[in-house]
Structure 1
Amino acid sequence: MDTHTDLWFAASIVLISLVLSAFFAGAETAFTAASRARMHALEQGGDSRASIVNRILAIRERFIGAMLIGYNIVAIGASAFTTSVLTALFGKSGVIYATVGMSVLVIVFAEVLPKTLAISNPDKIALLIARPVAFAVALMGPPALAIEQLVRVMLKPFGVTIGEHQSILTAAEEIRGQVALLHREGGVERAERDMLGGLLDLSNLTVSEVMVHRTKMRAIDADMSSEEIVRAVLASPYTRMPLWRGTPENIIGVLHAKDLLRALDAAGGDASGLKVEALALETWFIPGTTSLRAQLKAFLSKKTHFALVVDEYGEVMGLVTLEDILEEIVGDIADEHDVTVSGVRIQGDGSVNVDGGVPIRDLNRAMDWHLPDDEATTIAGLVIHEARTIPDQGTAFNFHGFRFKVLRKAKNRITVLKIVPLSGVAQAAMPVAEDRGTA
């Protein structure tokens, strides 16, 4: 075999080796980065290639072992062959040529290039090479399995167990993080992100966090005349209203506007003879610790939309409706009869005046903020929690990247707050600051 033939043969071996090395390196990257959710959806749709990808990812350690074995066998073999050929041609200096040349070729064409292509579109490439990868894993299965067992034995003394794919995040947190990332990249709109986030939060929120507090409930005194009750119902924007007797906390039933109007029609429009209490529905009391997810299921199974919330002592805390729960998912639901008082007023200077009773979640949704709602439900409650006191009018605090100033206070209640987002530098300054100047 002459020198010219040797060079062509060596070049062919190197080329084949680079192609195989690129295949193994790119396959490892593509399969590792491929979306399990998308592959599952494609498999459900009948894509056989996605089924292969899912089967391979189910034995991830064996797959990685097979790819590494294949890559190293090809790369080491090619380097050894190239070194022997160039040494025969150039003597001892051939070792240097082989080392430099193969390093450049392997790094560029067998590592960086295929992995860059794979990571740019992992799903598409994983589907494209699914069958060749499955053949390679089957071919190198025995040595990969042996290496997998060896690795398990070596890691066991250190308390590391492979195969237990335990994430430090819950499934809901992983979904939430993925949605947030897609929103940041422009793939998911803000409204869609909020809806998905609200749906995931149903298990973490209780009815006491979304209920209408008893101080804001529209209820009817059962001792009023039937004519007064009819006028009160017609003046209300709600179709269901609690009836109370003696004290507002003593709820004796729930009056539905349709039932009242049917009875009024049957009486020929004469309200004087109506027995309103007899029309009232039985009151459904639920504990304030009930999760929104559980209450949503209860509403659907009971086929009712209204419940009164009680504390551990049986005292009425407020009321919750099906609409209140749905609003946690889709945002505020308003119709032509709703009295909309958002309590959030954006000022010309960039600050926001907020009523103290506005829920933190509603404010975050309206302003796209991220104020914590773990320790308090309303924005006034958050200020009191952080200040560890009930602040006076004119007092200001800096925390969570915002400046909160108490504009108005009624007795022990903060009624209006002024909130100003701080700059990036000021956000790091968390200590409380006092400012008793005027608004």
Structure 2
Amino acid sequence: MHGLESGAPQVDIWTAVGIVIVCVFLSAVFAGSETALTAASHARMHSLEKEGDKRAAAVNRLLRQRNRMIAALLLGGTLVNIGGSAFTTSVLVVVAGDNGAVYATVIMTVLLLVFAEVLPKTLAINHPDETSLRVAKFIAPFVRVVGPLLAGVEYIVRTVLALAGVEVGHGRTVRSPYDELKSAVDILHDEGNVERAARDMFGGVLDLQVLHVSDVMIHRTKMRTIDADLPPAQIVREVLSSPFTRMPLWRERPDNFVGVLHSKDMLRALNAAGGDASKVNVDEVMFAPWFVPEATTLEDQLEAFLKRKTHFALVVDEYGEGMGLVTLEDILEEIVGDIRDEHDLAVQGVRPQPDGSVLVDGAVPVRDLNRVMAWDLPDEEATTIAGLVIHEAGAIPEAGQVFTYHGFRFEVMRKIRNRVTALRVTPQQAI
């Protein structure tokens, strides 16, 4: 008590206050740094490092040793929290007697909760990149200094877990980079940072490696073909009346394709024949068909189109039977959406109705319907909307039947033999 009367304890109290403030500040730095560094954008840090930003390089080095970095920050935060609390308690016990421990607990709880946890972490999570760049040059040396100690701690932890029968690193599900990228873009779209068109284009690029030509091809029932044994004049008329520049040719039976006729080649041959279509030799004008397996991914098919410098291929199944055709445009449409020019057919097969329902041709691909209507119908088990209904029903439905799947009402409007050709699809919220 003599020290209190001489005034010396006043200096000790202010020193104690200063030490506590420093401990709370350091605790805030460690807590905010942990939040910022774990939430920092890898893409932006990588870009800044390539531009020569040394702070970004330090952030990337820390992120490459994420486990050790987090352990170091937890160690630093624990040390300053314990140190600050112990010092505050010892001082308040001297000043306030036995109640000093209670006062110290209340004071440090409030200080650490508000100023060393909530405040810095809120700031860091709202500005993770900027905060990471600011703290990296201080955190990196600290991680290097305590690294050997943390290595010992990691060894002890692994040993204890091994004795308990737990293998570190096993049992964790690692998402593919494809899933991570697609989910990130979906989240940005939901938050309003990425427009729907940009999200669809980005998703289309990623989907090239998981979709197959069978998912986007024009089915053989929808193909426009020409009998190669028809008179040349009739073949010329067929080519000129078609909205397509390339026409498959067949002989004997419709699925026996013998060649592909390009309209420009036909016009050149017609010009060389002096305009007399009967003198055109179709066999000399057509080029050999290119057959590709239906299981080929769109990524591989796009690369093959570019290498062969051609835009058209016929699709066959594992038995060599013709399934349909695929073009370069079909693949590009998976990225940029529907591509139409002045010669394309106007019928798209999707007709929204005033009551909120949509009349859909059975052959419309589920992916195209999702893109046009901003729906999320599954397309893993079926390519077309009719195929989806048949898959879910487990049978070929009759006209007039109604089903409810995936939050939508499906009404079969028309059926021709075993094909569902028209449906009315209504979102449940529109019912």
Q: Match of 1:320, SS? A: strand
Return the letter of the residue paired with 1:206: H
Does structure 2 retain, via aligned residues, the 8 Å contact 1:86–1:95? Answer: yes
Q: Give the alignment partner of residue 281 of structure 2, picking from 275, 279, 297.
A: 275
Instruction: Quote the Cα distance in structure 2 between the aligned partners of 1:296 and 1:195.
Output: 16
Instruction: Quote the Cα distance in structure 2 between the aligned partners of 1:70 and 1:165.
Output: 30
Aligned to 1:43: 49
Shift of 1:174: 0.9
Shift of 1:332: 0.8
Return the letter of the residue paired with 2:167: V
Q: Give the alignment partner of residue 294 of structure 1, picking from 290, 300, 304.
A: 300
Instruction: Quote the Cα distance in structure 1 between the aligned partners of 2:275 and 2:29.
Output: 84
Superposition pairs of residues 229-378 of structure 1, within 5 angstroms:
229-378=235-384
TM-score, length-scaled by structure 2: 0.95
Q: Match of 1:408, SS? A: strand
Instruction: Quote the Cα distance in structure 2 between the aligned partners of 1:165 and 1:27.
Output: 29
Instruction: Quote the Cα distance in structure 1 between the aligned partners of 2:279 and 2:85.
Output: 102
User: How many equivalent pairs are there?
Assistant: 424
Return the letter of the residue paired with 1:161: V
Q: Give the alignment partner of residue 195 of structure 2, picking from 185, 189, 194.
A: 189
Instruction: Quote the Cα distance in structure 1 between the aligned partners of 2:154 and 2:328.
Output: 53
Instruction: Quote the Cα distance in structure 1 between the aligned partners of 2:371 and 2:171.
Output: 34
Superposition pairs of residues 167-182 of structure 1, within 5 angstroms:
167-182=173-188
Q: Give the alignment partner of residue 167 of structure 2, picking from 153, 160, 163.
A: 160
Q: Match of 2:209, SS? A: coil
Q: Match of 2:404, SS? A: strand
Q: Deviations over 1:84-129 (max 9, x none)?
A: 1111111111111111111111111111111111111111100111
The reply to whether residue 404 of structure 1 matches residue 395 of structure 2 is no
Q: Match of 1:142, SS? A: helix
Instruction: Quote the Cα distance in structure 2 between the aligned partners of 1:209 and 1:419.
Output: 21
Instruction: Quote the Cα distance in structure 1 between the aligned partners of 2:335 and 2:320.
Output: 29
Shift of 1:83: 1.1
Return the letter of the residue paired with 1:328: E
Aligned to 1:430: none
Return the letter of the residue paired with 2:224: R
Aligned to 1:23: 29
Aligned to 1:129: 135
Instruction: Quote the Cα distance in structure 1 between the aligned partners of 2:310 and 2:60.
Output: 43
Shift of 1:200: 1.3
Return the letter of the residue paired with 1:370: D
The CA RMSD over aligned residues, in Å, is: 1.6
Q: Match of 1:281, SS? A: coil
Which moved further from structure 2: 205-214 or 136-145?
A: 136-145
Shift of 1:253: 0.6
Q: Match of 1:183, SS? A: helix
Instruction: Quote the Cα distance in structure 1 between the aligned partners of 2:107 and 2:171.
Output: 40
Return the letter of the residue paired with 1:53: V
Does structure 2 retain, via aligned residues, the 8 Å contact 1:65–1:147? Answer: no
Does structure 2 retain, via aligned residues, the 8 Å contact 1:65–1:148? Answer: no
The reply to whether residue 112 of structure 1 matches residue 118 of structure 2 is yes
Which moved further from structure 2: 318-327 or 201-210?
A: 201-210
Does structure 2 retain, via aligned residues, the 8 Å contact 1:30–1:126? Answer: yes
Instruction: Quote the Cα distance in structure 1 between the aligned partners of 2:429 and 2:423.
Output: 19
Return the letter of the residue paired with 1:215: T
Instruction: Quote the Cα distance in structure 2 between the aligned partners of 1:166 and 1:126.
Output: 27
Shift of 1:202: 1.3
Identity of aligned residues (%): 58
Q: Deviations over 1:264-300 (max 9, x none)?
A: 2222222221101111111111111111111111111
Q: Deviations over 1:284-326 (max 9, x none)?
A: 1111111111111111111111111111221111111111111
Q: Deviations over 1:235-271 (max 9, x none)?
A: 1111111111121111111111111111222222222
Please, which runs of 5 or more residues in structure 2 have no aligned partner? 1-6
TM-score, length-scaled by structure 1: 0.93
Shift of 1:165: 11
Aligned to 1:433: none
Return the letter of the residue paired with 2:295: T
Aligned to 1:75: 81
